[in-house]
Structure 1
Amino acid sequence: MKKLILAVLLTNISLANAQVIIGDAVGTASDKTSVLLEFAAGQNKGLIVPYVRTIPASPTPGTIILDATTATAARMKYYDGTVWKDLSGQDGDVSTVLTDQPTGVTETGKSIIGAVSSTADGVLVLESTTKAMVLPTVTNVDNIPSPSPGMMVYVKGTTDKLLAVYNGNKWSFWKP
């Protein structure tokens, strides 16, 4: 009985400090202590944020979306707790990739990483006070064969280190 209790306790402890690596078992971060979600290196793929046709009424600060309210003027945006900030700086056309949602389908599900539950509203919610997400890393956005609207990557080239977002037409770059 003691061995069973010890096994259950050790399992719970290991899950409490778990992280998710998508694409392989190694990831890109050398120090995993502050990482909640990361991606495999060298995949030339990115993270695609949700397309929305209606801006959420009361979003959680830190929310990132592809604002497709006007499909021919789509822009990557994030919510800073007060206002939506434009990450694109230019319009993108996503009219060819948007489709109407089938009748009877609702968007009520969400996946939470880092907590048992969350009051934040989103498709994927990363909930942690001490850990962060590491974006997929590429050496050059030109190496991504077919970027999708709403894609985000971290460019770790030979000289530049940039956040890159794709709005459906062009990449926009943010340098720290």
Structure 2
Amino acid sequence: MKKILTSVLFTLIIGVNAQVIIGDAVGTPGSKTSVLLDFAANQDKGIIVPYVRTLPTTLPTRVEGTILLDASVATNARMKLYNANTDPGTNGWLDLSGQDADVSGALISQPTGVLEISSKAIIGAVSSNADGVLVLESTTKAMILPIVDDVQNILSPSPGMMVYVKGVTPNFKKRLAVFNGAKWSFWKP
């Protein structure tokens, strides 16, 4: 009976379009109706996007909204976003860094030979055609990045880190910050 009750409860949880909060039970926004993934506030931590040695060029690995650290040339690493509507010369990959970083000593070496990774975590749906380690799948909800006061408070940022800087003075505007392994780049509204 206990197994049946657990199975029914698990099935109900999967069917509910729930929010995931990492770091605490509160998260950051007051209203969470449009939030799929959220992080605890004021932790001075960010999320680390995957890095690749070869940029994806085919579907389903190249999906709108994909963010990664392009380490195909480890001495010229850059954070990138895939958007098919960008300049044709970029093959859809928009540079978020604007500057190179040498991450040859900072990244974990990938094993030689064939490595098959078939599992992924999907939040917001039962399945997804997107190929990624963590896939957020929703037409009505979004992810809220970890929010920090200042990137200088992050003692050891890792290559591929992303945060949202809320600003600490009237002259310091809110902005997206990405760390390419050497320098922070800021996108402001």
Q: Do these two structures clear the TM 0.5 threshold for a shared fold by scoring above it?
A: yes
2:150 corresponds to: 140
1:68 corresponds to: 71
Q: Which 4+ residue blocks in structure 1 deviate beyond 4 angstroms?
A: none
Q: Secondary structure at the match of 1:33?
A: coil
1:156-167 aligned within 5 A? 156-158=166-168, 159=170, 160-167=173-180
Change (3 A) 1:14 1:30: farther
**AA matched with 2:148:** V
CA–CA distance in structure 1, aligned partners of residues 130 and 14 of structure 2: 25
Extract unaligned runs of 5+ from structure 1: none
Q: Secondary structure at the match of 1:32?
A: coil
2:80 corresponds to: 77
Whether contact under 8 Å (1:62, 1:81) holds in the other structure is no
Number of residue equivalences: 172
2:36 corresponds to: 36
Q: Secondary structure at the match of 1:93?
A: coil
* 1:14 to partner: Cα distance: 8.4
**AA matched with 1:166:** F
Q: Does 1:124 find its partner at 2:118?
A: no
What is the alpha-carbon root mean square deviation over aligned residues?
A: 2.2
Of 86, 90, 103, the residue aligned with 2:99 is 90
Q: Secondary structure at the match of 1:36?
A: strand
CA–CA distance in structure 1, aligned partners of residues 108 and 154 of structure 2: 24
* 1:137 to partner: Cα distance: 0.2
Whether contact under 8 Å (1:38, 1:136) holds in the other structure is yes
**AA matched with 1:69:** S
**AA matched with 2:178:** V
